[in-house]
Structure 1
Amino acid sequence: MEREPIRIALVDDHALFRSGIAALLKEFDDLMIVFEASNGKELQFLLPEHQPIHVVLMDIKMPGLNGFDTTEWIISNYPQTAVLALSMFDESTDIIKMLKAGAGGYLLKESSLEELYTAITTIHRDGFFSNELVSDKLIKSLKSGRHIEDWYEQYNLNQKELEFLRLCATELTYKQIAETMGVAERTVENYRQSLSEKLEIKNRVGLALFAIKNKLVSLGNETL
């Protein structure tokens, strides 16, 4: 019995990019581009008329309604729909904000067609897609909703490590974090290494996600 194709919506403010992606994905019989939208507002109008949509390929920086707010709206109103961020930006703050908004993965526009196909099929099957930017453990951790008391006691973090965690979720460089904390850069590196071992998180994006998930910082903070 032939499986139903994965129904996809493509949201990007560049018409040529949308057309190119749509043409490339036609190569796969198990994928179907149901509609395209130039921004979040247009998607909000089209999505109710084209159910079900299994996966939304979402640009993040668009006029009108951006990808962050659009993703939050999708997850609130169509939780069965997975969102895959597709962006040219690999800034940690963008990745964090999209995952916090509810995206199940983050892929750069420079990725290969094979990786895009894998990302779409994986996020449809599992609800998330992991790659070198975002690990599956980080996404699962972000979505778990564990309370702050649980991890604070479990990992035995000291006040300096907590402060460093908060600052990881800002746009400050490690050198600037050291200056803010009034310590040497080497000391900041020691904090990073200690937290990586205690939390089993390898990179700064992961540390920032951990801080946000556990309400050490808020995405409404102006530093983000």
Structure 2
Amino acid sequence: MDNITIGLVDDHEIVRQGLKVLLTKIGTYNVTHEFSSGNDLLAALPVQNSPSLWIIDYSMPGLNGVEVIKALDEMGADYKALLLTQHLDESIINAAYHYGARGFLNKNCSAFDLKYAIENIATTGYNNVVEILKRLRKYDPDPVSLKTEVVILTARERDFLRLVCDERELTYDQMADLMSVSLKSIESYRTALFEKYDIKSKVGLVLFSYKHRLTEPFL
């Protein structure tokens, strides 16, 4: 996949250099930005010609990777972030997803895993899709930290969104049958939500419902 630009945030220069070499070997990726800490990245905002994806280390002096992703989210910065970590602690991963991470990778991952994650995020918006859905259904976030954007849905859009979030992971055809409408109608509900709230994928719809507590199982 061409034209994917990468930003690296890691306090170890040798890690950044190693990632740059690896990225040139596994794809036509171009590292355009580097920061040695999350504080440096935040101080540089808004970043000119922001890369397609930021790969952010968890363990850094000052702000850790999750805190950086949280700060980006609170600032309204629309930056896609992949968390790189040696710590597979449940609370860290859940918090990363809660604050907008598009995926995470263990630092022991293979080159294939890295390439897969980058291209997944580029094409669908997220990596670890199945895991995200499972975690979000279990995670009870602090309601104070949820976004306060006003969300206005029609009754049919809300019904559609409820089925998107259904644990049975229904297809669009199955949703049409359950709502007694045509597949074209289902596609129109999806398109309306995509356009109104800048959503780009089915997983994005689930995260949207989760962040605003719009449907089961997030109410």
The two structures have a TM-score, normalised by structure 1, of: 0.58
Question: Mapping of 1:99-138 within 5 angstroms?
Answer: 99-130=97-128, 134-135=131-132, 138=135
Structure 2 residue identity aligned to 1:108 = N
Aligned to 2:25: 27
| Counterpart check, 1:145 vs 2:210 | yes
Unaligned runs of 5+ in 2: 137-202
Shift of 1:137: 6.0
Structure 2 residue identity aligned to 1:5 = N
Cα distance change of structure 1 residues 77 and 147 upon mapping to structure 2, 3 Å threshold: closer
Q: Is the 8 A contact 2:2 2:28 kept in 1?
A: yes
Structure 1 residue identity aligned to 2:19 = I
Shift of 1:48: 2.8
Question: Mapping of 1:15-94 within 5 angstroms?
Answer: 15-77=13-75, 79-94=77-92
- For residues 211 and 62 of structure 2, the distance between their equivalents in structure 1, rounded to whole angstroms, comes to 34
- For residues 39 and 110 of structure 1, the distance between their equivalents in structure 2, rounded to whole angstroms, comes to 21
Over the residues paired in the alignment, what is the CA RMSD in angstroms? 2.7
May I ask how many residue pairs the two structures share in their alignment? Answer: 151
Shift of 1:75: 3.3
Shift of 1:36: 1.5
- For residues 63 and 69 of structure 1, the distance between their equivalents in structure 2, rounded to whole angstroms, comes to 11
- For residues 41 and 4 of structure 1, the distance between their equivalents in structure 2, rounded to whole angstroms, comes to 30
Cα distance change of structure 1 residues 146 and 103 upon mapping to structure 2, 3 Å threshold: closer
Q: Is the 8 A contact 1:34 1:50 kept in 2?
A: no
Q: Is the 8 A contact 1:129 1:136 kept in 2?
A: no
Secondary structure of 2:62's match?
Answer: coil
Unaligned runs of 5+ in 1: 153-212, 215-224
- For residues 149 and 22 of structure 1, the distance between their equivalents in structure 2, rounded to whole angstroms, comes to 41
Shift of 1:45: 3.4
Q: Percent identity?
A: 28
